Amino acid sequence: MKEFADKLVECVEKHPEEISKRFCKAVRTNPRTPSYHSMSPDACFLHAMDFYKNLERIYFSEPLREACDSFFDQYAGERHKEGIPLSEAAYAICMMRRHIWLYADSQALFITPIDYHRAIATINKTILIFDHGLHCMIQKYVELSKK
Specify the amino acid at residue 79: R
What residue ranges define each of the domains in the chain, with the CATH number in brackets? Answer: 2-146 (1.10.490.10)
Determine the average pLDDT of the residues in 118-129.
79
pTM, full prediction: 0.85
Per-residue pLDDT tens for 55-113?
A: 888 988 888 889 999 999 999 999 999 999 999 999 999 999 999 888 877 776 666 77
Q: Closest Cα to residue 44, out of 68, 71, 79?
A: 79
Determine the average pLDDT of the residues in 44-50.
94
Predicted confidence (pLDDT) at residue 2 exceeds the cutoff of 60: no
Distance CA 120, CA 122 (A): 5
CA-based angle 78:126:21, to the nearest 5?
55
Band of residue 140 on the pLDDT scale cut at 50, 70, 90: very high
Q: How many CA atoms lie within 13 A of 35 on its CB side?
A: 14
Predicted confidence (pLDDT) at residue 1 exceeds the cutoff of 50: no
User: Which stretches does DSSP call E strand in 39-96?
Assistant: none
- Residue 51: C-alpha distances to residues 13, 22, 27, 146 (Å): 11, 14, 14, 26
Determine the average pLDDT of the residues in 50-58.
88
Per-residue pLDDT tens for 6-27?
A: 677 777 888 999 999 999 999 9
